[in-house]
Structure 1
């Protein structure tokens, strides 16, 4: 490997005395990055000062990072895990890992430790050096193992076995899992996540949707319903000098109007949709 270093010692006299070979587990391989959003049992993103995500190896070694609201759209934590190059039998540091090593991820809030439902009952396997793994973490109890917390399911039906992630309990076209992520009610068809075009203003489409606290919204545009790309937008209520945005993070629950920014040198998009994270 390009930067590998080793030290080999030896002395020769009338006899042959070969000193022990000393090799360090250096250099490390590139870190593996875990990232994602941490949600409570009702789907609300965790935003508590001092809250942490902790990766723990099978041997009990820990790597910690804080949960920080708004790191980037859809992301409230990043955990960079040192990876060992695997050139020697020892690790270059106690917290370093290799691709096949098992681990658990825990969330600590105000001194209370939670095991996310994505990882309960098992040790996940570490990814490759230099890689990135999106791992959203959901707190709560998921007794039927469908990925939705029991507390959220009980709002729809007291018999949680009748509420599955892929079903559409209120018939509004969104699955229960999508409603959980969007923060809408899966028992009310009128409460679904929708983007509507209200009007054209100075040749620009003005759209409206209901923003839910803690969620981040990104506007996507397309000319053919096949290729979708992020589109910049402004929020008219902020005035004519309002910031041109790539995304919008809601701090409360309220209707939001957004005006798509158009590029005069390119064909105007015909279709829009909204990504919620």
Structure 2
């Protein structure tokens, strides 16, 4: 299948690493508003983790922990959310034992069964906790990353094997386009497409119309969440609701589609009456 990849798709990809905001103000009294840390946990091959017994743990240097579990489809491109109680910092003691203060160092770990993993984004790095009442996205990846490029070594080794085995980890870089199809290695990893095959990938195709509403198709990969955006000038893009055709004519409009398996998905995007000029569409995958 021929790919149709643009910067809009790139912007919709989940980031491979999160950056936390530093505290910038004091709060009037404890308890301060909670801070929320959220994101996507992926395995070493790029698939979103769907094991509901898996735990995400926030751990401070003094051993305090806050724990949540993986929840597939929590929202578009998100499968975990940590609610972190924050202390205002104006008293000598915290209002509750697990309350943390802004700018406190922490790390995130993943527990699967009896094994605890340190995600590749956080190895050797205790990030500073963000402001009270804030939101911080931190995407987490299991596995090793010996060359520190953000791509798990297991995924890179599969690509090297497909290329004949003569390359090294250093030859597989996130921003490169191994199969020269217009899609970077990092985005191929996140989207679940084959970085070694220029004929395999992500394409949004208009296949018809229903009472003026465009019908579009794409191949969905299990565990990924898909959204549709539109533009009239190819510069400013806005999210639009759509209907999955397989769900029936009267199916409710939705903001996103979480793929449970690999299949071709057809969607219908209602167009407001009186719309003038051309409308462009893109599909984003997270």
Q: CA offsets per residue over residues 255-277 of structure 1, 9 Å max, x none?
A: 11111111215447610001111
- The normalised TM-score by structure 1 is 0.88
Structure 1 residue 237: Cα displacement: 2.4
Q: CA separation in 2, counterparts of 1:268 and 1:41?
A: 44
Structure 1 residue 214: Cα displacement: 0.4
Q: CA separation in 2, counterparts of 1:146 and 1:244?
A: 39
Q: CA separation in 2, counterparts of 1:110 and 1:243?
A: 38
1:177 aligned counterpart, secondary structure: helix
- Are 1:188 and 2:197 matched, yes or no? yes
Q: CA separation in 2, counterparts of 1:206 and 1:227?
A: 22
**Corresponding residue number in structure 1 for 2:214:** 205
The 8 Å contact of residues 179 and 195 in structure 2, kept in 1 or not, is answered as yes
Q: CA separation in 2, counterparts of 1:185 and 1:3?
A: 52
How is 1:248-263 mapped onto 2 (pairs within 5 angstroms)?
248-263=257-272
Structure 1 residue 88: Cα displacement: 2.2
Q: Cα RMSD (Å) of the superposition?
A: 1.6
Structure 1 residue 50: Cα displacement: 1.4
Q: CA offsets per residue over residues 101-146 of structure 1, 9 Å max, x none?
A: 1111001112221111110112111111111001111111010001
Q: CA separation in 1, counterparts of 2:176 and 2:124?
A: 25
Q: CA separation in 2, counterparts of 1:246 and 1:173?
A: 27
Q: CA separation in 2, counterparts of 1:51 and 1:268?
A: 49
Q: CA separation in 2, counterparts of 1:256 and 1:146?
A: 33
The 8 Å contact of residues 179 and 193 in structure 1, kept in 2 or not, is answered as no
The 8 Å contact of residues 27 and 88 in structure 2, kept in 1 or not, is answered as no
- Are 1:50 and 2:53 matched, yes or no? yes
- Are 1:217 and 2:226 matched, yes or no? yes
**Corresponding residue number in structure 1 for 2:15:** none
Structure with higher Rg: it is 1
> Residues 2 and 148 (structure 1 numbering): CA distance in 2 closer, same or farther, change over 3 Å?
closer
**Corresponding residue number in structure 1 for 2:241:** 232
1:180 aligned counterpart, secondary structure: helix
Q: CA separation in 2, counterparts of 1:132 and 1:49?
A: 23
Across the two proteins, how many residue pairs are aligned to each other?
A: 255
Q: Which has the higher contact order (CA 8 A, sep 6+)?
A: 2
The 8 Å contact of residues 220 and 229 in structure 1, kept in 2 or not, is answered as yes
- The normalised TM-score by structure 2 is 0.85
> Residues 257 and 77 (structure 1 numbering): CA distance in 2 closer, same or farther, change over 3 Å?
same
Q: CA offsets per residue over residues 148-189 of structure 1, 9 Å max, x none?
A: 100001111141111011111111111111111101011111
How is 1:257-276 mapped onto 2 (pairs within 5 angstroms)?
257-267=266-276, 270-276=279-285
